[in-house]
């Protein structure tokens, strides 16, 4: 099935194609940024023109088709939910009227899908969060969320690859390396991957297994 979409200008040096994820990268393209329902293509305005970029993207949209990704990887990620890492577990339990153990169970139940990587290097936006865990972002973001923190907010779920500010609700921590720029494959998770969390007793057991 072909994709009905729209191509919008982003100033003079980028275009945004809304809907779709299978775009040919033109030679003038400097970068391609997929998100939930759009693809941004950045180019050198001295080498290409907006009108041509938009026409190219429209052509690509017309030819693009929807469907499941060709290869789906499954990644199991161990998460330690002990008190020192579960910064918001008590609060989430209170707000959702669940017991902390039920929150963990509810969180580990779904098979999540990686929508895209964004916010910071390697940060995965995961879809599939249980309806019982729908809470908004923290009213005041934390100045420092520890690396490996597994967190959710506003219907999304993610893992902080390194210490950074953040406003999502932290339930636990994984010891898996989420992003390492020195590796040939820097990011643990890629768009389209399916992910499942399971509870482990200690951080050194909280690893990732790619199946």
Q: Where along the sequence are the contacts to other proteins (CB under 8 A)?
A: 8-14, 16, 18, 30-40, 42, 45-46, 49-51, 116-123, 125, 162, 164, 179, 181-182, 186-187, 191
**Residues 173 and 149 sit within 8 Å (Cβ to Cβ):** yes
Question: Among residues 132 and 137, whose Cβ is nearest to other proteins?
Answer: 137
Angle (CA) 120 211 130, round 5°: 60
Find, among 37, 42, 47, 46, the residue nearest to 9 by Cα.
42
Least distance to other proteins, CB of residue 52, Å: 12
Least distance to other proteins, CB of residue 158, Å: 10
Least distance to other proteins, CB of residue 47, Å: 11
Least distance to other proteins, CB of residue 95, Å: 21
**Residues 12 and 50 sit within 8 Å (Cβ to Cβ):** yes
**Residues whose CB is less than 8 angstroms from the CB of residue 152 and which lie 6 or more positions away in sequence, other chains included:** 107, 129, 133, 135, 158, 168, 169, 171
Least distance to other proteins, CB of residue 198, Å: 24
Question: Among residues 171 and 187, whose Cβ is nearest to other proteins?
Answer: 187
**95, containing H or E segment:** helix 89-96
Question: Among residues 92 and 178, whose Cβ is nearest to other proteins?
Answer: 178
Q: What tokens were used for 58?
A: 């429209």
Question: Among residues 51 and 99, whose Cβ is nearest to other proteins?
Answer: 51
Question: Among residues 100 and 155, whose Cβ is nearest to other proteins?
Answer: 155
Q: What tokens were used for 169?
A: 């609700």
């Amino acid at each position: 099935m072909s994709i009905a979409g729209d191509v919008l200008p982003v100033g003079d040096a980028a275009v945004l194609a809304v809907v779709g994820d299978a775009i040919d990268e033109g030679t003038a393209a400097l970068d391609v940024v997929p998100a939930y329902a759009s693809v941004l293509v950045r180019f050198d305005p001295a080498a290409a023109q907006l009108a041509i970029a938009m026409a190219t993207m429209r052509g690509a949209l017309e030819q693009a088709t929807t469907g499941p990704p060709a290869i789906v990887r499954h990644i199991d990620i161990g998460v330690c939910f002990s008190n020192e890492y579960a910064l918001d577990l008590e609060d989430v339990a209170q707000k959702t009227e669940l017991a902390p153990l039920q929150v963990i169970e509810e969180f580990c139940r779904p098979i999540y899908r990686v929508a895209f990587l964004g916010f910071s290097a390697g940060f995965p936006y995961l879809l599939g969060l249980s309806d019982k865990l729908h809470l908004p972002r923290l009213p005041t973001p934390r100045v420092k969320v520890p690396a490996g923190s597994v967190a959710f907010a506003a219907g999304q779920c993610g893992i902080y690859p390194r210490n950074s500010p953040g406003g999502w609700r932290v339930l636990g921590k994984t010891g898996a390396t989420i992003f390492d720029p020195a590796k040939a494959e820097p990011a643990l998770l890629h768009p389209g991957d399916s992910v499942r969390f399971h509870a482990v007793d200690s951080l050194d057991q909280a690893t990732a297994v790619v199946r």
